Amino acid sequence: MKKLLIVFGLIFFFVIGCKGQLESGIKDISVEEMQSLLKIDDVQLVDVRTPEEFKAGYIANAQNIDYYSPTIDEDILKLDKNKPVIVYCRSGKRSRDCSEKLLEAGFQKIYNLEGGIIQWEHEGKEITNK
């Protein structure tokens, strides 16, 4: 009987855990997946690095929303909640944190670039300078 309860407990934990991942609305994507998504007209590309980092080089068509800005919560609300959002930073940590903020703000399709702009450059993709 104890084993049966443990098995049901593990199944319940697994189902709830997977359900949370599927409904989160955040998907970590590779550089290749991001390139495909960038071909969609409606996608919003957001660089959450500091303005100084952004000026040093960014992915074409990105808009800069500084994750460390005291107005970050207001700034992300200027984005269209009905359009997909791709978020990136230097290595992936800030963009993942920002993705959580976007989810809490009601955005539905959120993509986080794994490895950030470092991975983008590592794979030989272009960056733009102002």
Exactly one of 85, 89, 102, 117 is catalytic; name it: 89
- Taking the C-alpha atoms of residue 41 and residue 92, their distance in angstroms, rounded to an integer, is 24
Task: Please classify residue 83 by burial: count the beta carbons closer than 10 Å to its beta carbon, then call 0-12 exposed, 13-18 middle and 19+ buried.
Answer: middle
Asked about 98 being catalytic, the answer comes back as no
27 beta partners: 111
Instruction: Tell me how far the alpha carbon of residue 46 is from its chain's centroid.
Output: 9
Of 97, 119, 104, 110, residue with least CA distance to 48? 97
* Two structure tokens written together for 65: 């929303």
Cite the active site residues.
89
